[in-house]
Chains A and B, each alone.
Chain A
Amino acid sequence: MKLIEVTDLKKYFPVRKGIFSKSDKYVHAVDGINFSVEEGKILGLAGESGCGKTTVSKLLVRLLEPTNGKILLEGEDIAHKKGKKLKEFRKKMQMIFQDPYGSLNPRFTVMDTVAEPLIIQGIGTPEEREDAVAKALDIVGLKSPEEFLFRYPHELSGGQRQRVAIARALVIEPKFVAADEPVSMLDVSIRLGVMNLMLELRDRLNLTIVFVTHDLACARYMSDEIAIMYLGEIVEIAPTEELINNPKHPYTKALLSSVPIPDPSEKRKRIEVKGRVSTPIDPPHGCRFAPRCPHVTAKCKKKDPHNVRVSDKHLVACHSFKS
């Protein structure tokens, strides 16, 4: 069953000039993307800095309202839900943030932080909540929760903080979690631990996860399927091994060539491709990757490429590929 399905999702941000003057220019941070994730699966979303990964995660959990498109969660469109109805859906989805130093309120104890979703949603009595918090902490590997319950974030290590953030996300038993580069700010030595934890939780709780990363090795380690983003668009999406072994898009190929060792504990490798990424402010027609593409043709600069089916689950958006 498709737990989450996104069609033609767009988010445009107005480019601000001053307080009074809104300009008519827009950043096309996310520009018409489609994908779906089966229940209990992990989709890796990879791409360079500024390609719109964070914006996608925030759209999925409705921290942002999309400019266009649908977000179906268990078949119901949440793209423009508001108020009470949205709050009801918030029980089903959670987000894990990149920065474990910023995502915990410095004046909240671990107990306060983890219990907050339950309090907001009015779930359980104080005692039941305390049990739920202890259980969640236990699940994320903070053994002997009593020891952590009344600590403040500054008394925790980075890895412990991220575990607390995960516990907070899981305490209301969501169906879906958007994880925005959850390990990129952690020490290499503890990344694997946190990633293994997420995999284990997925199995135990049947979670569906969109795992955002700029590191293909991490994406490969975590995901059942990988989507490659470039300037607000998904240029290629395929099951993990298929994408790694049989990439079709020149951008994916370029990325893979710079990531020879798919071992996440290895020194972190940022995706790098020659040339610089521009900001997608009112981009012209044509393929976004054309200016940096080694196989660029005249057509690439005029016409937007459409998704072409390579195989059942493998889609690529490139003019040079013919099925």
Chain B
Amino acid sequence: MKIIRGKSKTWDLFIKSTLGKVGLGLLITFAIMAVLSPIWIARNPQIYDPLTGKDPNVFGSIPPTMAHPLGTDQLGRDLLSQLLKGSQIAFLVGISVGVFSTSIGTLIGLISGYYRGKIEIVLMRLTDIVMTLPLLPLLIVISGIFGRKDIRMIVLVLSLAGWTLAARVIRSQTLTLKERPYIESARVSGASNMRIIFKHIAPNILPLTFLYMTIGVTYAILTEAGLGFLGLSDPTISSWGMMLQWCFMSGYTFKALYWMIPPGLCISALALSFYLVGYAMEEIVNPRLRER
């Protein structure tokens, strides 16, 4: 009840924002694609499985037909099927990285902002360092070292590297929140540090956490797609980045726009939709931007 009522004002403002509505609309579209994926494949997995399927009547990549509304790739695999599956993968990667990295960032931000002193200095230097790591090259090198490319490892590395921005912002927010009288009021009653951090401060930075989660999702989607495009993502799943890589490597790039356009469009649009949701949120969460 608390959360719902606390948020409803934010929600009202959010739904009034055009950009927020566009973002949410796109998001729902992709969610529907993700849900449709198994249904589409289930029609005939031998033909429609995004990785192992093959239409026996098709040789080489073909443009859209009735059976293959988006055409097929050079191996005769259904492109629509790959695209729908890709939506699932993108959501999975994006949201897990978003949740993990923002949780780490929130925790580090809360702790360094609340305890100050040496802890703060150490954590903020750590943040500076991680922030300057060139992530994509690091992932490239790691995939080279371990040879086997595993989506779980990619999610892990992205999460371990992607928390810095959230940590910085949440730290400075914590710094101002912890000076509020209601924090002192809780302390007078004997509240422990843990209670103050998690019951009093954390709920008040929730909107901010959510905002940085959308940014984290955007960056995860784009980075994983980048790896896929370079042929360094998990080969056992069909992600949009991989689709584009297959298209690029098989030399169909400019001969088969029906193949080249959809995955890139989906990557960009899904990243955009999360970013728009965040952008609309920010106008609400950050009152200084809203007042104008």
* A→B interface (CB under 8 Å): 19, 58, 61, 63, 86-87, 90-91, 93-95, 97-99, 102-109, 112, 116-117, 120-121, 150, 152, 165, 168, 172
Given contacts A86-B190, A116-B186, A116-B189, 20 further A-B contacts (CB under 8 A): A58-B184, A61-B188, A63-B188, A90-B188, A90-B190, A91-B190, A95-B185, A97-B184, A97-B185, A98-B181, A104-B182, A107-B2, A107-B204, A108-B2, A117-B190, A120-B195, A121-B190, A150-B1, A152-B5, A152-B6
Name the residue on B nearest A98 (C-beta): B181
Contact of B189 among A99, A108, A109, A121 (CB under 8 A): A121
Q: Shortest CB–CB separation between residue A14 and chain B, in angstroms?
A: 13
Q: Can you report 16 residue pairs joining A to B where beta carbons are below 8 Å apart?
A: A61-B188, A63-B188, A94-B188, A95-B188, A97-B185, A102-B181, A104-B185, A105-B200, A105-B204, A107-B6, A108-B2, A112-B2, A116-B186, A120-B190, A152-B5, A152-B6
CA distance A110 to B186 in the complex (A): 14
Complex contacts, A58 vs chain B, CB 8 Å: 184
A107 touches B203 (CB 8 A): yes
Q: Which of A93, A95, A152 has the most CB of B within 10 A?
A: A95
CA distance A117 to B6 in the complex (A): 22
* B→A interface (CB under 8 Å): 1-2, 5-6, 121, 180-182, 184-192, 195, 200, 203-204
A117 touches B181 (CB 8 A): no
Contact of A165 among B1, B185, B187 (CB under 8 A): B185
CA distance A99 to B1 in the complex (A): 27
A109 touches B2 (CB 8 A): yes
A97 touches B187 (CB 8 A): no
Q: Shortest CB–CB separation between residue A4 and chain B, in angstroms?
A: 15
A90 touches B189 (CB 8 A): yes
Q: Shortest CB–CB separation between residue B6 and chain A, in angstroms?
A: 5
A172 touches B189 (CB 8 A): yes
Contact of A102 among B5, B6, B182, B204 (CB under 8 A): B182
CA distance A116 to B204 in the complex (A): 17
CA distance A109 to B191 in the complex (A): 17
A-B contact count (CB 8 A): 66
Q: Interface SS of chain B: helix, strand, loop or mixed?
A: helix
Q: Given A97-B184, A97-B185, A102-B182, does the pair A120, B191 have CB atoms closer than 8 Å?
A: yes
A94 touches B189 (CB 8 A): yes
A103 touches B190 (CB 8 A): no
Q: Which of A58, A87, A103 has the most CB of B within 10 A?
A: A103
B187 touches A63 (CB 8 A): yes
Q: Which of A61, A98, A116, A168 has the most CB of B within 10 A?
A: A116
Q: Shortest CB–CB separation between residue A117 and chain B, in angstroms?
A: 4
Name the residue on B nearest A107 (C-beta): B203
CA distance A102 to B180 in the complex (A): 6
Complex contacts, B5 vs chain A, CB 8 Å: 152
B185 touches A168 (CB 8 A): yes
B191 touches A116 (CB 8 A): yes
Contact of B182 among A19, A87, A98, A103 (CB under 8 A): A103
CA distance A103 to B180 in the complex (A): 7
Name the residue on A nearest B6 (C-beta): A107
Q: Shortest CB–CB separation between residue B174 and chain A, in angstroms?
A: 15
B184 touches A63 (CB 8 A): yes
Complex contacts, B191 vs chain A, CB 8 Å: 116, 120
CA distance A89 to B191 in the complex (A): 13
**6 smallest A-B Cβ distances: which pairs?**
A117-B189, A90-B190, A103-B181, A102-B181, A87-B190, A105-B182
Complex contacts, B2 vs chain A, CB 8 Å: 107-109, 112
Q: Which of B1, B180, B190 has the most CB of A within 10 A?
A: B190
CA distance A93 to B190 in the complex (A): 10
B189 touches A106 (CB 8 A): no
Complex contacts, B182 vs chain A, CB 8 Å: 102-105, 108
CA distance A117 to B192 in the complex (A): 12
Q: Shortest CB–CB separation between residue B102 and chain A, in angstroms?
A: 19
CA distance A177 to B256 in the complex (A): 78
B195 touches A97 (CB 8 A): no
Complex contacts, A61 vs chain B, CB 8 Å: 188
Contact of A19 among B121, B180, B204 (CB under 8 A): B121
CA distance A165 to B185 in the complex (A): 9
Complex contacts, A90 vs chain B, CB 8 Å: 188-190
CA distance A117 to B188 in the complex (A): 9
Complex contacts, A19 vs chain B, CB 8 Å: 121
CA distance A168 to B186 in the complex (A): 10
CA distance A108 to B186 in the complex (A): 12
Complex contacts, A104 vs chain B, CB 8 Å: 182, 185
Name the residue on B nearest A102 (C-beta): B181
Q: Given A120-B195, A152-B5, does the pair A103, B188 have CB atoms closer than 8 Å?
A: no
CA distance A109 to B182 in the complex (A): 13
CA distance A98 to B186 in the complex (A): 15
Name the residue on B nearest A100 (C-beta): B181
CA distance A31 to B228 in the complex (A): 67
CA distance A152 to B204 in the complex (A): 14
Q: Shortest CB–CB separation between residue A56 and chain B, in angstroms?
A: 15
Q: Which of A19, A105, A108, A121 has the most CB of B within 10 A?
A: A105
Q: Shortest CB–CB separation between residue B91 and chain A, in angstroms?
A: 29
Complex contacts, A152 vs chain B, CB 8 Å: 5-6
